[in-house]
């Protein structure tokens, strides 16, 4: 019997375990992939928008020679934090249901890589799952073709090809700029009047320069309405269609948290956003003893919570379960 089972080994789940351990609570982190899976799925050469200090957990300094850390530095940092605190982590085991008993205790039902079903008992449960396994699909013909991906890792495989990037966020802009460097012909399609206002300030002028030179073909107020084997159909907001030759499509339309585990556990969800109902001072959900941490607390709007803010959720949870002064 553990005091706390934490589902998800991202930065927010790791932070929650550290804060609980500091208060003398036993913890077990259950992760269906490996630690910080979401960061692993970031583009290979991605640089964070935040400074290293804003990504720190457990009072462990994040040392980097860069103003903004890169993906590989973050992977190394969180591995070291988990090792430093000797966190009890079970990887490649998926929690598929949470059962709360009349006595207030919980049983977490899981399935390991071999398909064997297991049960884990705990006094409290924290759901700290991420969102990168669940891309936002557009729902257009051809989106399921092999040429389409919702994940961009690096540009090399697209050398010399025609690539359409759907989206106008940092991920879309970064991908377009990397693709240009390897000689891809890049078309960007975005439904807004301008690209996102949140584009990294040191990236925006370079990106705009590439557009002015004609290196990136940008279609604003438009959307891809069909994906074909050798082309895409782009439709403007006023209904005009154009067919663009195409080899690959990067549909960088964002991701959303999976709320199935929350809902099946009895957690109430609020409105169309399906945001879990919880106490923001303690992160406790509508189910007593069941907490949320990290991006899962944002419902379908994954941009509402980042590592910078979600890393503090664990401290609120741990303090509610067992105050540090007690």
Residues 105 and 12 in one domain: yes
Residues 57 and 82 in one domain: yes
Residues 129 and 15 in one domain: yes
Residues 247 and 264 in one domain: no
Residues 216 and 102 in one domain: no
Q: Report pLDDT for 305.
A: 56
Q: Is residue 143 part of a domain?
A: no
Q: Is residue 326 part of a domain?
A: no
What domain range includes position 286?
2-133+255-321
Q: Report pLDDT for 272.
A: 63
Cα distance between residue 66 and residue 52, in whole Å: 9
Tell me: the pLDDT tens digits for 215-264? 999 999 999 999 999 999 999 998 899 999 999 999 998 887 778 888 88
Length of the chain: 326
| Extended strands (E) in 256-324 | 269-270, 275-276, 290-292
Residues 288 and 222 in one domain: no
Q: Is the dihedral of CA 251, 253, 258, 260 positive or negative?
A: negative
Q: Report pLDDT for 173.
A: 93
Q: Report pLDDT for 274.
A: 73
Cα distance between residue 30 and residue 76, in whole Å: 20
Residue holding tokens 């370079």?
A: 206
CATH number at residue 236: 3.50.50.60
Residues 77 and 187 in one domain: no
Q: Report pLDDT for 254.
A: 85
pTM (2 decimals)? 0.88
The answer to whether 28 touches 6, Cβ cutoff 8 Å, is yes
Domain boundary among 251, 273, 296: 251
Q: Is residue 175 part of a domain?
A: yes
Q: Is residue 272 part of a domain?
A: yes
DSSP code for 192? S
**Helices 11-22, 71-84: crossing angle, 10 deg rounding:** 20
Residues 242 and 266 in one domain: no
The answer to whether 168 touches 196, Cβ cutoff 8 Å, is yes
Domain boundary among 232, 251, 270: 251
Residues 227 and 262 in one domain: no
Secondary structure (H, E, C), 107-147: EEEEEECCCCEEEEEEEEEEECCCCCCCECCCCCCCCCCCC
Residue holding tokens 């899981």?
A: 110
Residues 222 and 126 in one domain: no
Q: What is the number of structural domains in the chain?
A: 2
DSSP code for 325? T
The distance from CA 121 to its chain's CA centroid, rounded to whole angstroms, is 28
Domain boundary among 199, 233, 251: 251
Per-10-residue mean pLDDT, the chain, length 326: 96 96 97 94 89 93 93 97 97 96 95 96 95 86 96 95 94 94 96 84 89 94 97 94 97 84 88 81 96 84 66 93 77
Tell me: the pLDDT tens digits for 106-118? 999 999 999 999 9
Residues 35 and 80 in one domain: yes
Residues 244 and 159 in one domain: yes
């Amino acid at each position: 019997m553990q005091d706390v089972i934490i589902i998800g080994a991202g930065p927010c789940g790791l932070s929650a375990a550290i804060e609980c351990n500091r208060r003398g609570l036993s913890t077990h982190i259950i992760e269906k992939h490996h630690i910080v899976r979401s960061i692993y799925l970031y583009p290979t050469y991605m640089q964070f928008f935040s400074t290293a200090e804003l990504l720190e957990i457990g009072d462990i300094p994040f040392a980097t020679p860069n103003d903004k850390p890169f993906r590989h530095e973050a992977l190394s940092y969180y591995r070291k934090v988990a090792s430093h605190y000797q966190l009890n982590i079970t990887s490649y085991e998926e929690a598929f249901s949470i059962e709360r008993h009349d006595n207030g205790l919980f049983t977490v039902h899981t399935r390991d890589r071999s398909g064997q079903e297991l049960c884990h008992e705990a006094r409290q449960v924290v759901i700290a799952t991420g969102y990168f396994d669940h891309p936002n699909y557009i729902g257009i013909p051809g989106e399921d073709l092999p040429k389409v991906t919702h994940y961009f890792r690096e540009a090399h495989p697209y050398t010399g090809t025609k690539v359409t990037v759907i989206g106008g966020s940092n991920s879309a802009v970064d991908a377009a700029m990397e693709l240009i460097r390897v000689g891809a012909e890049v078309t960007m399609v975005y439904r807004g009047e301008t690209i996102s206002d949140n584009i990294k300030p040191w990236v925006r002028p370079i990106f705009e320069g590439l557009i002015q030179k004609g290196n990136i073909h940008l279609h604003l107020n438009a959307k891809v309405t069909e994906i074909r084997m050798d082309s895409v159909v782009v439709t403007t907001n006023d209904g005009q269609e154009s067919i663009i030759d195409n080899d690959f499509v990067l549909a960088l339309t964002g991701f959303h948290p999976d709320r199935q585990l929350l809902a099946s556990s009895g957690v109430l969800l609020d409105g169309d956003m399906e945001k879990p109902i919880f106490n923001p001072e303690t992160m406790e959900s509508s189910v007593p003893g069941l907490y949320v941490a990290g991006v899962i607390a944002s419902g379908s709007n994954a941009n509402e919570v980042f590592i910078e803010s979600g890393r503090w959720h664990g401290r609120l949870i741990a303090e509610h379960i067992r105050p540090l002064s007690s």
